[in-house]
Chain A
Amino acid sequence: EPEVTQTPSHQVTQMGQEVILRCVPISNHLYFYWYRQILGQKVEFLVSFYNNEISEKSEIFDDQFSVERPDGSNFTLKIRSTKLEDSAMYFCASSATEAKQETQYFGPGTRLLVL
């Protein structure tokens, strides 16, 4: 069964450093998402992406965040200058269409720790 993959599984960085989280969505999917889950809290939407542009973003997704689909397979989330409060599990997801009944498939996540 096709699945969403994410690398790295764990990332430790110093505050103020840039990090890039990588995702390979399911190959025939067109809609891509990033969510995050701070330890012990709910999963929160960050951004959705379609046709090489952001469809929607949350208030969490400020100027420190950016997304990119640099080639036909990867989908990346960049945090320019990490803060302690960026420590969380980051999930990439993809779906075939934007229909609400369309399942979003989640990757296993990248655990980011900012020191």
Chain B
Amino acid sequence: QQQVKQSPQSLIVQKGGISIINCAYENTAFDYFPWYQQFPGKGPALLIAIRPDVSEKKEGRFTISFNKSAKQFSLHIMDSQPGDSATYFCAAYASGGGNKLTFGTGTQLKVEL
């Protein structure tokens, strides 16, 4: 119940296309959902985050869509660029769960020219 399931495991998108990564959870105590971006040789870095009382959050080319009833959320990268090629992790915090992040399994995104 503590898991966050993420798909796909890998994704290849053409430059200018839309990249979509999906996550699902079961623990209703999760109440904050950040996405992290990780480049090779680097630690994960916060990209964008959303609270479950909001259905969508947009920052530049990155948008999180949140479906509370389905317990699903997704990251959309519009106009994908080669520089977006990285591993993306969804994550979740649980109220009363301290401040530990529970991560999804990660999606390796490659944006081709």
- In the bound complex, residues from chain B placing their C-beta under 8 Å from that of A44 are 103
Q: Within the complex, which residue of B45, B98, B99 is in contact with A106, where a contact is CB–CB below 8 Å?
A: B45
- The interface residues of chain B lying within 8 Å CB-to-CB of A51 are none
Is B54 in contact with chain A by the CB < 8 A criterion?
no
**Across the interface, do B43 and A109 meet the contact criterion of CB distance under 8 Å?**
yes
Known: A42-B89, A42-B105, A93-B43. A100 touches B100 (CB 8 A): no
Size class of A's contact patch?
20 to 34
Distance to closest chain B CB from A26 (angstroms): 12
Number of A-B contacts (CB under 8 A): 64
Which residues of the other chain, B, contact A109 by a CB distance below 8 angstroms?
42-43
Q: Does A31 contact B (CB under 8 A)?
A: yes
* A98 engages B99 (CB within 8 Å): yes
CB 8 Å contact bits of A70-113 with B (1 = contact, 0 = none) = 00000000000000000000010101001111111111110000
Given the complex, which residues of A lie within 8 Å of B98, measured CB to CB?
48, 55-56, 98
Structural contact, A100 and B32, CB atoms closer than 8 A: yes
Contact of A100 among B42, B43, B99, B106 (CB under 8 A): B99
* Chain B CB within 8 A of A19 CB: no
Question: Which residues of chain B come closer than 8 Å to A55, judged between CB atoms?
Answer: 98-99
Residues of B within 8 A of A100 (CB): 31-32, 93, 95, 99
Residue positions of B touching A, CB distance < 8 A: 31-32, 34, 36, 41-46, 49, 51, 89, 93, 95, 97-106
Instruction: Give the B-binding residues of A (Cβ under 8 A).
Output: 4, 31, 33, 35, 41-45, 48, 55-56, 58, 91, 93, 95, 98-109
